[in-house]
Structure 1
Amino acid sequence: MKNIRKTGRGIAGLLTAGALSAGLLTATATTAEAATTCSGGVNIYGVLDDGRLTFSTINPATGNLAKVLVGPDLGFEPKAMATLNFNTILVTSTSGALYRVDVKTNSSNLALLNAPVKIADSGWTHDKLTYDGHGHLYGTTAAGLLLRYNVTEDKPAGSQHIGARTEIDTGFVLKTLTATGDDRLSATTEDGRLLDYTIAGAGSWKSNALKTSGWSGFNQLVSPGGGLYYGRLATGAMYWYKDANPTDGSGADISYHLDDPVNTSGWTQKLLSAQPGTYTCTTTADTVDRDNITEVKAAGRQLMNDKDSAWATSAQWNCLETLWNHESNWRWNATNPSSGAYGIPQSLPASKMDVAGDDWKENPLTQIKWGLSYIDGRYGSPCDAWAFWQANNWY
């Protein structure tokens, strides 16, 4: 890959990154220097055994616990929970009801705006729930069925706002489940594997084993995004981990902080749920000239090779190059006037690319990174995506 050089446009990209230190990641691309700046916070809601709601904040750079608040009793026996946003939580009951919990404040005290609102009387028997921050609520059943729902309002009032129930697949018998990004999940199993899932739709998903052992002790796993994981042990200890590149399907770059846990005890909540998407990372690099298609393509080929070693062939590159020639001619600002699809991979909606970086509107590297993850999750390889495009004129 030729040198990636700065053009004065202030473009930032999401490349491989190194270890977390004081909120700043440093990284080295194949021939370019990069520094990844991470920002945001970590907000975690929980429910104690006695039914009281809790709210905790953690410093993402140091792993230090910053705040713990205990609020009122929810008034029912909870079974699973998912945080939608800063002041809205969905909680199921052991009887299968679904409640919306509206938080009034979690600044110096934890108070609810009103009593939990029951938005469904029955049918919500999921043993786990998680929200990806991009309109999709995921749940699993005890039998291992993974379900996905569309959430169309910040404060859903019922089935009119939580619908389009999709059965993704069976076989998801998991110990923990958390969303890490747009249609992206992480989970642990009883035998200690750490798994990463990319979900495209019913029967269409891909998994990677980030770790094949060592994660069996966690009974809760939550993520605020940005490659951060927080795992709680039965002893009440909370540990934190950082995946330098959370979209590459590899756990080789996960940093452990075993000698510096969030806490060695005290996390006694029966349920935990992180607010999604509150922690993001953006990499500033000596980057390609975004208007130089030759340089953009060269960067794209290197990113494709780095994404999956099985893709590092001329055949796969020819497929990817041809696919995106048809879609956008590799132009970062390509826009479909009819559908609104945008960027090099023609993301629809365009905002789906924000999971790869806040600079997705103007950075070709961020767009390529997202596009490769989309192809990986939906088709498995660039050539499979190109074959589908040839048959359908879209992918």
Structure 2
Amino acid sequence: MKNIRKTGRGIAGLLAAGTLGTGLVAVTAPLAEAATTCSGGVNIYGVLDDGRLTFSQINPATGDLAKVLVGPDLGFEPKAMATLNFNTVLMTSTSGALYRVDVKTNNTSLALLNAPVKIADSGWTHDKLTYDGHGHLYGTTAAGLLLRYNVTEDKPAGSQHIGVRTEIDTGFVLKTLTATGDDRLGATTEDGRLLDYAITGAGSWKSNTLKSSGWSGFNQLVSPGAGLYYGRLSTGAMYWYKDANPADGSGADISYHLDDPVNTSGWTQKLLSAQPGTYTCTTSTDTVDRNNITEVKAAGRQMMNNKDASWATTAHWACLEKLWDHESGWRWNATNPSSGAYGIPQALPATKMDVAGDDWRENPLTQIKWGLSYIDGRYGSPCSAWNFWQANNWY
């Protein structure tokens, strides 16, 4: 039997240091509400003004800089970069070419496996690039057009591996851009806003303002995933931040570490790019406050991801969240007074859920487990279930 907490958990606060004079605002941020376990590291590639490649590692738990390596000159003038994986970086040049840079690194050295491979001669005039770690390369133009490309190989050799050019929309005039997850982007603006974007496709996207001000000082922003942000100032200082729930579209739970930066100087690269997906957090499904809807949803999303790898997308989560928002508001004790449907998935009869566990009457996780199995067997996916609900007002 899984453990559930029957009383709400108190929210502690983290008091940040005083306001900096560079556009950064000190705030009091709450600790994460959901029980999570985080693991992994932070790898950041960069390019110095003289054209040399750099590699840095940061301890995500403490913000401490673990390693800095400087490699050879790239041989061309880069304009934008996106890290695909530990050994592969994509870069555009100031002339509009696209290069693949194959990297070899260890504890003491950073080298190129070969000369940078030009995989496109022209057309890549993006001022920013970022890769989400799930097969999508994003780029913006100076005019604010956001584009997405499918990447099908770890070491793409040309248009056969980087294709399906999709124009998402215009209006993306941003100061910084980074991928934060699967079709999820983070960005800052000249006026200091911190933004979050969930991208579905051409003309289909949603934005959230995580912070309305305070982020104007950064000229580089990178993320290895799981709500970690690293912002670099023009002074060369690097600061780090942690969003306790990066999927909730809110910046209220971002923890600031202004009194404990990665460095107060030294980050002089003109370009920076984090390897995506190297830091992950898993919501514990062993202990959940059943009355904390945020925590229940976080556990539900993790259970959905674990149920079927093809469901582990922003789109399917949006479908499941809306479906059970309408059905029960994600309340474990939601009861339909007319039919007797019960629980988060509104099982009818309620006793159906006993196949998932004897504690189905009071445990939201048992209810979610049953609900996901029901959706899988009847509809095949959360979005198919949501589409049916929209057409019929039941599922």
TM-score, length of structure 1 as denominator length: 0.72
Q: What amino acid sits opposite 2:117 in the alignment? A: V
1:137 is aligned to: 137
Q: Report percent identity of matched pairs.
A: 75
Q: Tell me if the contact between 2:31 and 2:255 (Cα under 8 Å) persists in the aligned partners.
A: no
Distance 2:279 2:264 in 1: 23
State the secondary structure of the residue aligned to 1:330: helix
Q: CA deviation at 1:282?
A: 1.4
What amino acid sits opposite 2:101 in the alignment? V
Q: TM-score, normalised by structure 2?
A: 0.72
Q: What's the secondary structure of 1:316's corresponding residue?
A: helix
The corresponding residue for 2:364 is none
Partner of 1:6: 3
Shift of 1:105: 2.2
- What does residue range 145-164 of structure 1 map to in structure 2 within 5 Å? 145-164=145-164
Within 2, Cα distance between the matches of 1:54 and 1:301? 36
Matched position secondary structure for 1:331? helix
Question: Which position in structure 2 is the counterpart of 1:202?
Answer: 202
Query: CA 1:390/1:106 → structure 2, altered by over 3 Å: closer, same or farther?
Result: farther
1:39 aligns to 2:39 (yes or no): yes
**Which has the greater radius of gyration?**
2
Return the alpha-carbon distance in structure 1 between the equivalents of residues 276 and 98 of structure 2.
Answer: 20
> Could you tell me which residue of structure 2 aligns to residue 120 of structure 1?
120
- In 1, Cα distance between equivalents of 2:202 and 2:165: 10
1:235-293 C-alpha deviation (Å, 9 max, x unpaired)? 000000000100000000000000110001000000000000000111324358xxxxx
Q: What CA distance in whole angstroms lies between the structure 2 residues aligned with 1:313 and 1:161?
A: 36
Residue 239 in structure 1 maps to residue 239 in structure 2: yes
Deviation at 1:16, TM superposition (A): 12
* Alignment pair present for 1:50 and 2:50: yes
Q: 8 Å contact 1:16–1:27 — kept in the other structure?
A: no
Given the alignment of the two structures, is residue 316 of structure 1 paired with residue 317 of structure 2, yes or no?
no
**Cα distance between partner residues in 1 of 2:272 and 2:134:** 20
CA RMSD, aligned part only?
3.9
Distance in 1 (alpha carbons) for counterparts of 2:323 and 2:56: 47
Q: Say if 1:277 and 1:66 are closer, same or farther in 2 by CA, change over 3 A.
A: same
In structure 2, the partner of 1:74 is 74
Alignment of 1:312-351 (within 5 A): 316-317=326-327, 330-332=371-373, 335=376, 345=382
> Tell me, which stretches of 5 or more residues in structure 2 are unaligned?
15-29, 302-316, 331-343, 349-368
**Equivalent-residue separation in structure 2 for 1:5 and 1:213 (angstroms):** 41
Once residues 144 and 61 of structure 1 are traced to their aligned partners in structure 2, the CA distance between those partners, rounded to angstroms, is 35
Q: Indicate the residue corresponding to 2:358 in structure 1.
A: none
1:390 equivalent in structure 2: 391
Distance 1:106 1:315, change over 3 A: closer
Decide whether aligned partners of structure 1 residues 92 and 314 sit closer, same or farther in structure 2, where only a CA change above 3 A counts: closer
Partner of 1:97: 97
Shift in CA distance, 220/50, structure 1 to aligned 2, threshold 3 Å: same
2:31–2:244 CA contact under 8 A, matched in 1: no
Instruction: Number of aligned residue pairs: give it.
Output: 321
Counterparts in 2 of 1:209-220, with a 5 A limit? 209-220=209-220
> 1:324 Cα deviation (Å)?
11
Separation in structure 1 between the aligned mates of residue 324 and residue 78 of structure 2, nearest angstrom: 53
1:351-370 per-position Cα deviation (integer Å, ceiling 9, x unaligned): xxxxxxxxxxxxxxxxxxxx
Q: Which moved more, 1:104-113 or 1:86-95?
A: 104-113
Alpha-carbon distance, 1:107 to partner: 3.0
Unmatched 5+ stretches in structure 1: 8-14, 289-295, 348-381
| Aligned position for 1:358 | none
Q: Aligned partners of 1:63, 1:51: CA distance in 2, in Å?
A: 27
